[in-house]
Structure 1
Amino acid sequence: MPADTPPPLRAGALIGCEVRARDGRPLGRIADLETSREPDGRERITAAIVTGGRWGRLLGYERDQHTGPWLLERLAHHVIRRHTRHVPWTDLQLPPMT
């Protein structure tokens, strides 16, 4: 990697980061990332699951498509999902990474 090229950004550095909309409006923290595979085999971030409330994970129940025991589903819906939203990656403004 050339000396002037910044190091690659790791998912672990993004989880928990506070993000804003492109207009500067605060959205919350990144709870999860969504990717898609490019033709060259690389993964590209396409969206983020952003939460305005608690940003921790609850066994993957922050995702709408997860199914599991009904009691955990209901709990996850009331505790975590009510504050989460799917935001396209291009609509996010990240904080400066050091």
Structure 2
Amino acid sequence: MDNRLDGGRFDAALHLLDRQVGDCDGLLVCKVDDLELSYYDDGSPAAVTRVLAGHAALVPRMSSRTGHWLRKRWVSLGIQYADRDVPLSFPLEAIEHLGSGIELNVERAGLLDRQPAATSGVTLHRMGELLGMQIETEHPELRGKVLDVRLEATRKDRWPMRQLVIGPGRPGSLLGYDRGDFNGPWMVQSLVERLHRHIRLIDCDAVEDIDWDAGVVRIASDAVAEDASLAKAPG
């Protein structure tokens, strides 16, 4: 499969989450359980900056569907561990190829370490927090939730967030049909395209505010809504 990093833009949930990671020798390293998001005080675009792995990454992402009961229960079972809630991670610079899986340019020995704390001027969040957030806007074409985030591989150390994929349903429910990742029978494609005709792409510049506690993304009423059709799929 072609390297999506060479094509420019790709989608976080569709192309990254839950993919297997292999080192330069083809040995299994981990699975992508979540992604680190960095928000910059200097106004730089928010970006994915690290891959997160392990139970401390996966459990919080899954627990959002259970009112965070699962995460609280999991932490309580190991309260003697100071870093139990800190996931393992590795930097994006280690990624060489993004296709059906993720291939690294380094050996797996000693690669995974605990996620570093945020540096000055940076606020850290996770992709799993953003996905599924409710959309608030007066825009007539926008409704639903954040289904995915379109990234751009313009740098080795960070992948800026360029667009939000917005629509009804929940993250993962589209299975890539809306973005051309499945070349099935034309009748099935036509049906799925109709079912997801309300899916829209919004530039991240149109986001006015993100309430992380309430799980709400507020978007400007004059945002330009792009139809996320099969013809406009990245890569």
TM-score interval, normalised by the smaller of the two chains: 0.7 to 0.9
| Alpha-carbon distance between aligned partners in 1 of 2:155 and 2:119, rounded to the nearest angstrom | 27
Tell me the alpha carbon deviations over residues 36-92 of structure 1, each in whole angstroms, 9 at most, x when there is no partner.
1233521111101111x32342321132x3341123311211111x11111101112
Question: Within the alignment, does 1:18 sit opposite 2:134 as a pair?
Answer: yes
Structure 1 SS opposite 2:192: helix
The structure with the larger Rg is 2
Any unmatched runs of 5+ in structure 1? Answer: none
TM-score (norm 2): 0.34
Q: Give the superposition deviation at 1:7.
A: 4.9
- RMSD (Å), alpha carbons: 2.6
- Counterpart contact for 2:118–2:124, Cα < 8 Å: no
Identity of aligned residues (%): 18
The residue number in structure 2 matching 1:33 is 149
**How many residue pairs align between the two structures?**
92
Counterpart code for 1:68: N
Question: Residues of 1 paired with 2:155 and 2:120: CA distance?
Answer: 27
Q: For 1:79, which of 177, 180, 195 is the aligned residue?
A: 195
| CA–CA separation in structure 1 for the residues paired with 2:124 and 2:206 | 20
When normalised by structure 1's length, the TM-score is 0.72
Counterpart amino acid of residue 41 in structure 1: D
Moved over 4 A (4+): 2-7
| 1:14-57 alpha-carbon deviations (Å, 9 max, x no partner) | 1111124xxx4263311111001233521111101111x32342
